[in-house]
Chains A and B, each alone.
Chain A
Amino acid sequence: MNNPQPEFDVVVVGGGPAGMAAAARAAECGLKVGLIDDNPALGGQIWRSSLAGQTDRECLTWTQRIQAAGVRVLCGKVFQQPQPGVLLAEGSDHLYELRYRELVLATGARERFLPFPGWTLPNVIGAGGLQAMVKAGLPVNGKQIVVAGSGPLLLAVAAYLRKHGAQIAMICEQASWTRLAGFGFALLRQPDKIVQGMRLKRELAGIPFSLNCWPVAASGTGALESVTISRNGRVENIRCDYLACGFHLVPNIELALLVGCEIRNGYVQTDAYQRTTAAHVYCAGEPTGIGGIELAVIEGQIAGLVTRKRESEARKLFARRERLRGFARALDRTFDLRPELRELAAPETIVCRCEDVRYSCLRQHSSWREAKLQTRCGMGPCQGRVCGPATNFLLGWNSESVRPPLFPARVESLASASSAAQLPD
């Protein structure tokens, strides 16, 4: 029988690379560790397993370490912190009340979506989103797919889809040659990344790859039939079954905000030991800056070690972290969004998909807060996770405010939440 009120030395939220590394290192130091994730399988988004099971060797290694060290892995989504030291999470059929001394946030990132005419049509899907669907059983054999947006994820996704039989009509990257050349230079200092890049290049051979290129409209009756792209200033139409589209990544900082961590330039602030500004709260991986798997694993290990006061051991990882952070900074520079993308949304384009709020309605308001109150933008079930980053880019609005529950939760969970808030420590 599962104890719904487990007590841990360390609770790690997020079962991707950073969270797995943090949980394993902390538990290997002898701490009682709980790891919670919304997904039933470990690995997070980047190591998401397919129907065939988990195949990534690094993920399997961390999974073994987690099991060997006795980490308790829980499936549920954290939606509230009724008091410091307690988190509430909703599992499939019950509520967890997780008690902790130290908390590691490893909540990862999501894709940034930008509105353009037709982006709400079925089969216009995130780039990582489509990959996740294929891993979840969607066959793409023989399907025509345009992969568009920005960031290194586009290349990985295109290679994955092609391996599964898809015809990649084109990869459209909004970044320019100049930006990408600068990125190539930064790669020279990252031998591992060059090897990965070369492997990808082989897997992508023959696929048209366009820079200065982005989708301007998607069209179809009932579902996607074709996409119009802008390529080096000219407009072209491509027939396709799927448009896999994401504009790089944005960090999941909602839980960090809820527990009172300071955010700077959109990322959770941490010191050299991955400690946030909130007492006993650490953060590792993408929420501290979009940097990829290797950086996430290093930061996670540092956080895990420091929860057991193993600072000297953690310091041995600092040099490698610095090098990887250089790569992260290069990512930010390279895949920074060009201003032309702000022109993509037409007045009638829906920006908030939950509440169908159109761009023309939003532009009548001067802030996220005002727009929320007047138009219900960001008030739907995604709670602004999609339209928040979009309005941040389009209108410069700051959507960094959260209130519990962080996700739509069941009524009985919320009822238990209010009683948990009154529990003695």
Chain B
Amino acid sequence: MSEHLTVTVNGAEIAVPAGTTVAVAIMLAGQSCRTSVSGEPRGPLCGMGICYECRAAIDRVPHCRSCQIVCSPGMEIRTDE
């Protein structure tokens, strides 16, 4: 069994295996990542840090590329601001 850690996505706690990226944690929480300029929900597209569709606020830092960042214990992830 791999080790798990807990993060929050929009305030709700979720346990993910160590090594999971923030983009995956957001998907596991059933959320989209960002809202586009015309109001569409968006999720990851390229998975490799190029498209910027997976942007989210991580520990209050806005516009992080969530597919390039690995979850750490207690991380606060927000997609709703």
Contacts and interface: CB of A to CB of B under 8 A. Distances in A.
Interface string B35-57: 01110111111111111110100
Given A38-B68, A123-B43, A129-B45, 4 more contacts: A136-B67, A137-B19, A382-B52, A386-B51
A386 B46 contact: yes
A125 interface: yes
Given A38-B68, A126-B46, A133 B24 contact: yes
Q: What secondary structure prevails in chain A residues at the interface with B?
A: loop
Contact of A51 (B19, B33, B53): B19
A62 interface: no
A129 B47 contact: yes
Interface in A226-268: none
Contact of B44 (A121, A129, A222, A356): A129
A380 interface: yes
B59 to A, nearest CB: 13
Contacts of B73: none
Nearest to B33: A122
Contacts of B74: none
B23 A133 contact: yes
Nearest to B18: A51
A353 B49 contact: no
Nearest to B53: A353
B25 to A, nearest CB: 8
Contacts, number: 108
B40 to A, nearest CB: 6
A255 to B, nearest CB: 13
B32 interface: yes
Nearest to B28: A138
B16 interface: yes
A170 interface: no
Contact of A356 (B16, B32, B37, B67): B37
The size bracket of the interface on B is 35 or more
Contacts of B52: 354, 380-382, 408
Contacts of A39: 48-49, 68
Interface string A112-130: 0100000011111110111
Contacts of A353: 36, 42, 45, 51, 53
Given A51-B17, A120-B42, A125-B45, A382 B51 contact: yes
Interface in B8-22: 16-21
Given A110-B50, A125-B44, A136-B67, A51 B20 contact: yes
6 contacts: A110-B46, A123-B43, A132-B48, A133-B44, A382-B52, A386-B45
Contact of A136 (B2, B23, B40, B43): B23
A63 interface: no
A386 B50 CA distance: 8
Nearest to A45: B48
Contacts of A350: 36, 38, 40
Contacts of A381: 52, 55, 63
**Residue with the highest number of chain A CB atoms closer than 10 Å, among B17, B32, B44, B51:** B51
A38 B68 CA distance: 9
B24 A126 contact: no
A51 B2 contact: yes
Contacts of B17: 51, 137
A223 B23 contact: no
Given A51-B20, A355-B37, A138 B27 contact: yes
Nearest to A129: B47
B27 A133 contact: yes
A31 B36 CA distance: 47
Given A125-B43, A133-B23, A138-B27, A120 B36 contact: yes
Contacts of A354: 52
B64 to A, nearest CB: 11
Contacts of A45: 48
A273 B6 CA distance: 50
B7 to A, nearest CB: 12
A113 B45 CA distance: 9
